[in-house]
Amino acid sequence: MINIKSIYKNKSFAAIFSKVTSAFFTFLFLFFITKSISTHEAGVFLYSYSIMMVLVQLARAGTDNVIIKQLTKYKCVFFYKYIMLKISFIVILISLFLSFSLIVIIYFGGFPIYNNISSIKIILIFLVVSLLFSFMQVLASYFQSQLLIYSQYWSLGIGVSFAGCISCLITYYYKLDVLKLSLIFLLMCSLVMLTSIVTFFKYIKSIPIYDKKHRIKKLDSIGILKYTIPFSSIALIMIIIQQGGALLSGFWLNEEQLALISVAFRISTLVGFLFVAFCALLAPRISSHFEDGNISDIHDKSIKQVAISNLFSISLFIFFIFFGDLVLNLFGERYVASYPELLIFSFCWVIRSYVGPVGTILTMTNHLKELRKNLYFSALVILISSIILIPKYGSLGAAISSLVGSVTMCLANSISVKKELNISFYNFKSLKNQIYYLIKVFKLKIEDNL
């Protein structure tokens, strides 16, 4: 008999279940937004939400590494609280600086959608949410260091998405406007933050108050900043590449256009869901094979995941080709207009899956220098193409600029992996092995059923 409790406590199951739950609440939140407010209002809300997420990622970049490294040195409540307060203070300072920088950009007319008092109030509310969420990310790093998977993902995003769903349901029931939705969302996020704080104090109860064996060293704030700033720059580049024209379109598009492209972009990420999950799963294995000198195993031991990822991404892309307009219609009749953008964004994920986890391979095999060059070049391509295409072609131009950037990044990373490690997931031999593996799997499934 299967022990449900043991399955629930299994770390691999916890990670997969949390990822699926996170994706579910994210898209449920998106669906509720489109049903609770108008398309015009959704454009302001969704883009403000995207900006908030960017600020949070930049503010906490690199701090998870600091927390995990420091918490392994000592095991006492005093040091845990000291680390969390120190890192939280630094993260909030960075978040305040980024928020101020954004306000300056808005003041000088950088974002056309923030041209009235109501929209400005909304972005200010989201800046407050970014402070709360940044602090929650610090707590998530603590939970990660202690392998508390469910608490980690709750603080990383599930809690905020859940808060968003509740906020939208309240807004829909009472027929409120987007400003009130933003205020309710702020309140719900505050409650979610409180649950994370309570969970943190609950888990540190069983830890000794002081570590008598070791003398605790204080952390240098300037040193932490010097360590994390490079991570912030890399995080910014990755955000530009991953979100591409969908994020940069805010400099040119109006509220309704931003709503359409936001929905199309978020739905398209389903195509790359397995690819992203497999990259995280393969990362430690790739590092282990590289350290052991088994370079060929990096390809051979990853071929199964790449094959499954390709099958999933291509199948879902084909599904969107035939039924993408029906999927978009679930969010509202106006969102069907973003069907071309949905296909282009989805194809970006097909390309990333097709070339394999080349970015992860470069990261895990000490080829960060090549990866940085590729990322910087790809980000530059996206910026230039966005400046050229978005003002002329609108949301379609934003999607095309993302496609150009994705192709550039995949080609550059693939060439680097082939040159440095002689690994390729898209040559004839590799593709043949992927197809052979899938046929073998389906053949076994059919035989089992018979």
Q: Give me the phi and psi of 132, to 5 degrees please.
A: -65, -45
Q: Tokens in use for 29?
A: 């939140």
The candidate with the shortest Cα–Cα distance to 155, out of 218, 84, 261, is: 84
Which pLDDT value is given to residue 34? 93
The candidate with the shortest Cα–Cα distance to 106, out of 295, 251, 291, is: 251
Cα distances (Å, whole numbers) of residue 181 to 122, 165, 200, 259, 315: 9, 11, 29, 16, 36
Distance separating alpha carbons of residues 99 and 350, to the nearest angstrom: 35
The candidate with the shortest Cα–Cα distance to 354, out of 431, 279, 260, 282, is: 431
Which pLDDT value is given to residue 1? 42
Which pLDDT value is given to residue 105? 93
- Distance spanning both ends of the chain, measured CA to CA: 24
Which pLDDT value is given to residue 264? 94
Distance separating alpha carbons of residues 119 and 211, to the nearest angstrom: 50
Q: pTM for the full model?
A: 0.86
Which pLDDT value is given to residue 448? 54
Give every residue of the chain whose pLDDT is below 50, as ranges: 1, 450
The candidate with the shortest Cα–Cα distance to 111, out of 196, 44, 203, is: 44
Which pLDDT value is given to residue 331? 92
The candidate with the shortest Cα–Cα distance to 354, out of 346, 365, 366, 362, is: 346
